Amino acid sequence: MRPQRWASTIIFKGPDWVDFLSKVRFQVDPQSLFMFAAIGFLIVLMVMQSRKRKKQAEELANSLSVGVWVMLTSGIYGQIVAVNEDRISLRAGETTLVVAKGAVMRTVDAPAEAVVKKTVAVKSPAAKASAATKATPVKKPAAKKPAAKPAAKSAK
């Protein structure tokens, strides 16, 4: 049989599968219904958690600015020095690192070491000389005496 053409659609006369679909009936028992409901609930929870994580990541990315202290996913703490499109410059101690924004795990409060700079006391040459004269000589350990040999048995 040749199909009829109207506009741009093709219609076949008398398809058998249309009658088949109208006669099919699906019976669902309560156990299967509960299983589908539980799976649907888990999918909804996963979607909600995903949206929550994306929102938190966006808030963190927006809060990154110069002077903020952060912790990287590798555990490095530092202060942000510069912010670019997808990278940040971070000062950790005496080192400056350039890392991806995604490497920032969280923002933290400024550590106490950063607030109070430690000063190292420099000893004067006179103090070094007096310390050298006060040094006590190192005692050598006592020499061990050789073990006594057992007395030889005399023949009788």
pLDDT reported for residue 119: 47
Tell me how far apart the alpha carbons of residues 52 and 77 are, in angstroms, rounded to a whole number.
25
Give me 56's structure tokens.
Answer: 């938190």
pLDDT reported for residue 43: 97
Domain ranges in the chain are 28-63, 65-117
- Over residues 29-69, the pLDDT tens digits come to 888 889 999 999 999 999 999 999 999 988 888 888 898 99
Q: What is the CA radius of gyration of the chain?
A: 41
128: pLDDT strictly greater than 70: no
CATH code: domain 65-117 is 2.30.30.100
Among 17-26, 28-37, 70-79, the minimum mean pLDDT is found in 17-26
